[in-house]
Structure 1
Amino acid sequence: HVELGLWADLFLVAPITANSIAKFANGLCDNLLTATYLSARCPVILAPAMDLDMFQHPSVQANLAKLNSFGNNILDPESGELASGLSGQGRMMEPENILKRLEKFFKDREDFKKKKVLITMGPTQEALDPVRFISNHSSGKMGIALANAFRNRGAEVYVISGPISLKVDKESFHWKDVKSAKEMYHEAKLLQAKMDICVFAAAVADYAPAEIAPEKIKKSDSELTIKMVKNVDIAFELGKIKKPGQLHIGFALETENEAENAKAKLDKKNFDLIVLNSMKESGAGFQVDTNRVHIYGSGGGSISSEVAEKSKIAELILDQIKLAPIGV
């Protein structure tokens, strides 16, 4: 099984059942298929097939999301008549459509070959005292989706990540864990000049406590005042030293005047593209597995997505990076 897992350029399971999906997602190894999967170092594509109710069950969807976070590519089942007599989503993707996806996969693997890509992702944590910090709700899911997409399309990927709880195959990347905005800036500045593409997907705290208490702050008065100071704007500072030919991609999460605020950052931070998320849109934002984005280019063009899995949004973003700047 080890040899089988090492020789292939791609590992395709079509069809894959709910049972095998659960085993893959949770590391269960009781047959040749699961043993080969756990040994595989190549990209993995899975084509689920099962009854409609089984596919929609939260446990199956959670396992698919988990496999997606590992970097596995999921081919969504097609809709039609099922063995149970029901009609709906659950049919394995038709073989000819699987073949088209495989052809696209191998073609896409080459389009970022020999490119070095830096991705900042996740939240930052700004310490108040030894046990408390100020942070935000970023999960890092969008950053991981981007890292997987770039890796699958041939890039050498460098990741600087704030604290996240997701399981990630860090050995597939040049990975650096950090906590504060100051640490993230320091690491990004060391790498920026060597990169072809820099993607600033991290949710960096705008402010940090002016002083970090050496001991745990005790509860005393009815109010507590904390003086905050502005953090370094990582994308802005590195945008000042962007080299000709480099691409800088930014992210913006807005709650009002979304488009205007996002487009203003294109010039201010010397971005080639900016990806806008809105907290007001259902299925988008922090923590969830889906997103809906609006991408604006420095050339004046724009494109919007529907609500989709973050892995699919990542592919859309990479497709637009190839065309950057949009509208020129």
Structure 2
Amino acid sequence: MVANKKIVLGVTGGIAAYKACALTSKLTQEGAEVKVIMTESATKFVTPLTFQALSRNPVYTDTFDEKDPLKIAHIDLADWADYIVIAPATANIIGKLANGIADDMLTTTILATKASIFIAPAMNVNMYEHPAVMKHLNTLKKWGYQFIEPNAGYLACGWTGKGRLEEPEIIINVLKEQEAQTKLFSDKKILVSAGPTREKIDPVRYLTNRSTGKMGFSIAEAAANFGAEVTLVAGPVEETLEHRHVKRIDIITAEEMYETMNEQFPLHDIVIMSAAVADYRPKTIHKEKMKKQSGDMKLEMERTKDVLLSLGEKKKEQFLVGFAAETNEPLVNGRKKLKRKNLDAIIVNDVSKQGAGFAGDTNIVTYINRKEQEEMIPLAMKKDIAKEILKRIHRDLKDETN
């Protein structure tokens, strides 16, 4: 699964650098093309000549050592790579990347690449558990870096605990799994809605909700990384997403969401409605700013169109997924919504739980399919929750065709 893949292996200055030699050899045996970048500290543990012999490619150690005058080496490597793997990754390199520091060949290459990046930490257990390192790891996870967690055991420093570089075979298996996932939806077009809507009251006021679109954007990004062509219909949010397989359509109101989703619906195979669409809007939109008055004010509301219900009524071959953000009897209400709106699956989350709901980077959800099979996906980053949701959709689609 990694045959013919172009892999940049970043080796940093830790005793576990010797394992990177085995990793280089095994990747090459699997048919991958490997180019190694070493930090200056890494060369104190293993010589560049070792990696040159194992990879059969030049080894890069100096940003300013331009081997080909027609190319800028770190940009050329950044564009060339399918994957970048940093193994071992020291606390130093993790801190640099989390703070955008690019002061050597490895860090400049990583900041310039669009390739998937895998980080395999290796360090003393106390260093690994230090708040600064944990903060940097979490920052990089939010940015989409993927981590191959270290093992626990006896460390070279004499301590026992988490900090041992994962074995080369495991690292390669992670890359193989990633490669397999990129093909999960290679033949599918996926429509995703995200964020809130805004319902205008007057020129300066509107009604909305707390949705930030993070969950929907995470789903859109994961779907694209899994090989799908994605259309993302986004309400007014600050989230950004740049991906060559994601087309973004911005809307503001519930009516615009209704029109856009219904227009795009027949063009897609899978539709995931994660947007928090307003159920009501002001019956009258004032052309001028409403002036403050003494006493209370009453705002008359009217029902908006039910986007998800309309899609369920029109559904033919599409796999339709809804979201249910609940605070009371979430699973009961989720199952009712699944049937009432003719869905193939629903994602239920209790937004009253700590770590779940709007604005945060984490979530806790339950996936329920049309057979009413329930699977709880525990607390995790929304990017990871998105992947788990898509894997279950892929499984259910596969079951339908078998």
Structure 1 residue 95 displacement after superposition: 3.3
Q: Does 1:199 align with 2:272?
A: yes
Alpha-carbon distance between aligned partners in 1 of 2:130 and 2:284, rounded to the nearest angstrom? 48
Secondary structure of the 2:220 match is: helix
Residue number in structure 1 paired with 2:227: 154
Match of 1:243, SS state, is coil
Q: CA deviation at 1:89?
A: 4.8
Q: Distance in 2 between matches of 1:247 and 1:267?
A: 14
Kindly provide the amino acid, as one letter, of the partner of residue 12 in structure 1.
Answer: V
Q: Kindly tell me: are residues 164 and 65 of structure 1, through their superposed partners in 2, closer, same or farther at Cα, counting changes over 3 Å?
A: farther
Partner of 1:38: 111
Alpha-carbon shift at residue 277 of structure 1 (Å): 0.1
Contact 1:69 1:144 in 2 (8 A): no
Aligned residues: 327
- Gaps in structure 2 of 5+ consecutive residues: 1-73
Distance in 1 (CA, whole Å) between partners of 2:388 and 2:300 is: 41
In the other structure, the counterpart of 2:172 is: 99
Partner in structure 2 of residue 187 of structure 1: 260
Preserved CA contact (<8 Å) 2:87 2:165 = yes
In 1, Cα distance between equivalents of 2:367 and 2:245? 27
Alpha carbons of structure 1 residues 133 and 296: separation in structure 2 relative to 1, 3 Å:
same
- Following TM superposition, by how much is the alpha carbon of 1:269 offset from its aligned partner in structure 2, in angstroms? 1.4
Write the deviation string for residues 53-84 of structure 1: whole angstroms up to 9, x where unpaired.
66556665555444444433233444455677
Cα distance in 1 between the residues matched to 2:361 and 2:345: 23
Q: Deviations over 1:201-224 (max 9, x none)?
A: 111111111222223333222322
Contact 1:302 1:326 in 2 (8 A): no
1:11 counterpart residue number:
84
Instruction: Tell me if structure 2 keeps the 8 A contact 1:71–1:148.
Output: no
Once the two structures are superposed, residues 273-299 of structure 1 have per-residue CA deviations (whole angstroms, 9 ceiling, x without a partner) of 101000233321112222211111112
* Structure 1 segment 314-325 matched on structure 2, within 5 A: 314-324=386-396
Matches within 5 A, 1:231-270: 231-244=304-317, 246-270=318-342
Larger Rg: 2
Q: CA deviation at 1:178?
A: 1.8
Residue matched to 1:272 = 344
Separation in structure 1 between the aligned mates of residue 82 and residue 287 of structure 2, nearest angstrom: 53
> How far off is 1:150 after superposition?
1.1
1:284–1:291: 8 Å Cα contact kept in structure 2? Answer: yes
Q: 2:363 pairs with 278, 291, 294, which one?
A: 291
| Residues 207-218 of structure 1 mapped to structure 2, 5 A cutoff | 207-218=280-291
Partner of residue 384 from structure 2, selected from 293, 305, 312: 312
State which drifts further: 165-174 or 190-199. Answer: 165-174
- The separation in 2 between residues aligned to 1:132 and 1:61, in whole angstroms, is 41
Moved more, 115-124 or 222-231: 222-231
**2:192 alignment counterpart:** 119
What corresponds to 1:168 in structure 2? 241
CA distance in structure 1 between the partners assigned to 2:265 and 2:202 by the alignment: 31
Task: State the alpha-carbon separation in 2 of the partners of residues 64 and 315 from structure 1.
Answer: 19
Cα separation, partners in 2 of 1:111 and 1:211, compared to 1, 3 Å: same
Cα distance per residue 1:183-214 (max 9 Å; x no partner) = 22222122111101000011111111122222
* CA drift at 1:106: 0.5
Q: CA deviation at 1:250?
A: 0.8
Query: Does structure 1 residue 225 correspond to structure 2 residue 284?
Result: no
Tell me which amino acid in the other structure corresponds to 1:198. Answer: V
| Structure 1 residues 135 and 63: CA distance shift in structure 2, 3 A | farther
Question: Structure 2-normalised TM-score?
Answer: 0.73
Deviation, structure 1 residue 310: 1.8
The equivalent residue for 1:145 is 218
User: SS of the counterpart of 1:277?
Assistant: strand
CA drift at 1:302:
1.5
How many angstroms apart in 2 are the aligned matches of 1:59 and 1:131?
43
For residues 85 and 108 of structure 1, do their structure 2 counterparts lie closer, same or farther at Cα, with a shift above 3 Å needed? same
Tell whether 2:371 aligns with 1:281: no
Identity over aligned residues, as a percent?
A: 38
Whole-angstrom distance in 2 between the partners of 1:19 and 1:116:
41
Q: C-alpha separation between the residues in 1 aligned to 2:176 and 2:190?
A: 24
Secondary structure of 1:226's partner? coil
Q: Would the alpha carbon gap of residues 261 and 33 (structure 1) be closer, same or farther in structure 2, given more than 3 Å must change? A: same
Deviation of 1:110 after TM superposition, in Å, equals: 0.8
Q: How far is 1:312 from its partner?
A: 2.1
Alpha-carbon offset, residue 117 of structure 1: 0.5
- Structure 1: gaps spanning 5 or more residues: none
**Aligned equivalents of 1:123, 1:57: Cα separation in 2:** 37
- Structure 1 letter corresponding to 2:330: E
1:307 counterpart SS class: strand
Worse overlay, 318-327 or 83-92: 83-92
**How big is the shift at 1:249?**
0.8
Task: Give the Cα separation in 1 of the matches to 2:139 and 2:245.
Answer: 17
